[in-house]
């Protein structure tokens, strides 16, 4: 009798741990979308602006950062609203 109860409790704990792991992975994924897109588009803006000359590398990097932040925020907003 005790063996069955111990197995049941162990399986319930495993289910809880798996659920927690999924929630943590989801939170990390959603939390990293905005910074990754911000840095990525800032870099691509800098690379494109570097070929155009001195003032455009900084301006396009800045616009790329704002664009990445806006796109990342929109994606996270849609994900959160879907939950």
**Sign of dihedral through CA atoms 37, 43, 49, 53?**
positive
Q: Based on the structure, what is the number of domains in the chain?
A: 1
Residue 12's pLDDT band, with cuts at 50, 70 and 90, is confident
- What mean pLDDT comes out for the span 50-73? 93
Cα(38)–Cα(69) distance, rounded to whole angstroms? 5
- Both structure tokens of 44: 């691509």
Q: Which domain holds residue 14?
A: 2-82
Q: What is the per-residue pLDDT across 24-44, written as a single tens digit (0 to 9) for each?
A: 999 898 899 999 999 999 999
- Both structure tokens of 36: 């990754």
DSSP-H helix ranges across 1-83: 2-52, 54-82
């Amino acid at each position: 009798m005790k063996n069955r109860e111990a197995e049941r409790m162990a399986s319930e704990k495993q289910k809880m741990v798996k659920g927690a792991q999924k929630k943590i992975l989801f939170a990390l994924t959603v939390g990293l979308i905005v910074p990754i897109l911000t840095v990525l588009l800032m870099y691509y803006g800098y690379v494109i602006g570097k070929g155009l000359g001195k003032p455009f590398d900084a301006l396009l990097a800045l616009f790329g950062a704002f664009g990445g932040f806006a796109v990342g925020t929109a994606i996270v907003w849609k994900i959160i609203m879907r939950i």
